[in-house]
Amino acid sequence: MHWFKANLRSSISAVFSSRPPPTGEPAQQMGIEDIRGSMLALVPDSDDKQLVHVGRRIRYAGDLLGLWYLRGDLMAALASRDGEARAREKVHAITTLFEGRLPVGLRSRPSPLSADRN
């Protein structure tokens, strides 16, 4: 039973220890903060509750995938304020920052609404 107490004590202390070590390399973490900053730059300080909510979610997103999935919410918030065409331009600029950082299955596909259709 002595080993049980030691393992239990170390398990509890591991749960309440300081934050977990960062995942990924420092360069990857810096890239995440660059993307986060670019996304937050599109969300001005305003009284619009939708923009405030999206800005908060971007600020506290835990990883690159969280930021990737928040692009849709950012697009919706910007489209309600600036119009869809302008919002698409802004979000497209953010989407290019994710290149080479996501798994293959999460890459953006061309939209049928895109002006670049052949």
Tell me: pLDDT of 51 over 50.
Answer: yes
**Is residue 105 a part of any domain in this protein?**
no
**Is residue 59 a part of any domain in this protein?**
yes
Q: Cα 80 vs. chain centroid, distance in angstroms?
A: 20
List pLDDT tens digits, range 57-101.
999 999 999 999 999 999 999 999 889 999 999 999 999 899 888
State the pLDDT at residue 91: 94
State the pLDDT at residue 17: 47
**Is residue 86 a part of any domain in this protein?**
yes
**Is residue 88 a part of any domain in this protein?**
yes
- Can you tell me the distance from the alpha carbon of 28 to that of 31, in angstroms, rounded to the nearest whole number? 5
Q: What is the mean pLDDT of residues 16-25?
A: 47
CA atoms lying within 13 Å on the CB side of residue 48: 16
State the pLDDT at residue 106: 72
**Is residue 55 a part of any domain in this protein?**
yes
State the pLDDT at residue 53: 94
State the pLDDT at residue 99: 85
**Is residue 106 a part of any domain in this protein?**
no
**Is residue 49 a part of any domain in this protein?**
yes
The answer to whether residues 58 and 36 touch, using CB atoms and an 8 Å cutoff, is yes
**Is residue 33 a part of any domain in this protein?**
yes
- Can you tell me the distance from the alpha carbon of 91 to that of 5, in angstroms, rounded to the nearest whole number? 53
- The tally of domains found in the chain comes to 1
Q: Quote the pTM value.
A: 0.65
Question: Which range of residues forms the domain containing residue 84?
Answer: 29-100
State the pLDDT at residue 40: 95
